[in-house]
Amino acid sequence: MNDDPILDNMILELRRGALVLAVLSQLRSEQYGYSVMKLFSDRGLEIDQGTLYPLLRRLEGQGLLSSTWRVEGERPRRYYVLNTEGERVLNQLHAEWDTLVDIIQRLFEDDETKNMEVNHEPIN
Amino acid sequence: MNPLIDAYVDEIGQHLPRKMQMDLKTEIRSLVEDTLESRSQAENRPVDDQMVVEVLKQFGSPAKMAAKYLPPRYLIGPRLFPLFWLVARIVLAVLGAVALVSLGFQLSQEATSIHQALPIVGQAILDFVTTALSALGNMVLAFAILEQLLPKKVLSEVTEEDWDPRTLQIKPAEDRIAMPGLVAGILLTLAAILVFNFYPGLLNFRYLQGGRWVSSPILSEAFFRMLPWITGLWILEIVKDAVLLRQGRYTLPIRWFEVALKAAGIGVALALLLGPSIVRPDAFSSLPEAGEILSAMLPAVVRGALFLAVLLNGIELVRTIYRLVVRRPEVLKFTDRGK
């Protein structure tokens, strides 16, 4: 986190949007809350428990995930996995993400002159 | 089992609806224990109270954690708040006006000096604050119940697909209305109708004579002969203001109706000005010294005021008609398309 609260808030918003996609992407196979957290952590994505676990519940409530309780050792764990609707939504979100990344990338690559040209073209 | 974890999970449960409690408490406990186990392995030390404290701190306070599992909850949500705010302002304005009229009446009846007036004013302020708070509380309660009972679609914003920019009402500055002013106007006009028609005694001139109050009527028969016409105009004025409140802006028909009302008002004022005096010649005659002077001056003052009213309203009427006929057609044609 930075000292700049406005920047912090923007980063939070940016991550929040991407988080749903990140979570769905890891649930093609069954995972429980902490294992999702570990998967993210191993890939460098640190996420607050208070954000991830309620999100899993919300996605289940939206009909994108199915869940089952299983007892492993002495501990019951709730496993989540994508259902058919979740698969469909994930594929669409993935395509949307690729398009967005491509557009943003091109926007950053545009030099100042190109930006000037774009600004002078009429918007249709 | 760690008592801190038990207490943490129990407290989260207290913030959740009953039907969610068991399931979520089990899941959160499992997640806390998974985190502890992982940390214990990573740091190569057994789970102790210190580690539990650190992990629970990471999860966040029970209230915050529970809140993340719940949808946003409102006492009065965004769809009802604008209506609540409008009703609250109207109710407070009405209560304020009633309190003022009541205070004025009480002062005229009971206060003869500043020392008598102060406690009456203080009590009136206290009564108003109590009544206003009680009314606001009841409104919040009523709207909170509505928020829960109304189906989600009722009073919701129209969907993006249904919204048509052409339905926007373009309001030129002169077409906008001042809602509190209109409400106050309606209440004052209503109060005037009641007082002049049903309690004309309130308009009497009162003074102390020989240690007792004497009441003397000021307005003459000539005024009361015109009163039905004046009352009729006041009623039409209230109707116009009520329509304005409902529409939220001036429209061409309301403007012309207002012109007609103003013209009729000037007619009545002219009749009062040119007819017999509306003030009784003997209104102050029983006053010991200044009575004669006052009795002579008041009719002249009233006639002067009526003359000024006719003159100023006449000028205003001409200006309004000029604006409506010469300047406004273009603007009005455009705004009327949005209706």
pLDDT class of A96 with cuts at 50, 70, 90: very high
By C-alpha distance, the chain A residue nearest B37 is: A34
B residues 39-58 lying closer than 8 A (beta carbon) to A: 58
A-chain residues near B36 (CB < 8 A): none
Is the pLDDT at B338 greater than 60? The verdict is no
Q: pLDDT by residue (tens digit) across B108-139?
A: 777 777 777 888 889 889 999 999 999 899 88
The boundaries of the domain holding residue A71 are 5-120
**H or E element: which one contains B209?**
strand B205-209
How far does A16 lie from chain B, in Å, by closest CA?
14
Q: Compute the average pLDDT of residues B39-55.
A: 90
**pLDDT at residue B12 in the model:** 92
ipTM of the complex: 0.75
Q: Higher-confidence residue: A117 or B9?
A: B9
CB contact (8 A) between residue A49 and residue B30:
no
List Cβ neighbours of B192 (8 Å cut-off, separation of 6 or more): B234
Q: What is the pTM of this model?
A: 0.52
3-class secondary structure, B206: strand
CB contact (8 A) between residue A77 and residue B35:
no
B28 close to A (CB below 8 A): yes
Q: What are the boundaries of each domain within chain B?
A: 3-68, 217-339
Q: Which of B242, B275, B243, B236 lies closest to B259 in space, CA to CA? A: B236
Can you tell me which residue has the tokens 């990573």?
Answer: B42
CATH number at residue A43: 1.10.10.10
**H or E element: which one contains A76?**
strand A75-82
Q: Which of B182, B338, B186 lies closest to B245 in space, CA to CA? A: B182
Q: pLDDT by residue (tens digit) across B242-297?
A: 888 887 778 888 888 999 999 999 999 999 888 888 888 777 776 666 666 777 77
CB contact (8 A) between residue A49 and residue B60:
yes
Size of interface A-B (CB pairs under 8 A): 43
Report how many domains make up chain A: 1
3-class secondary structure, B1: coil
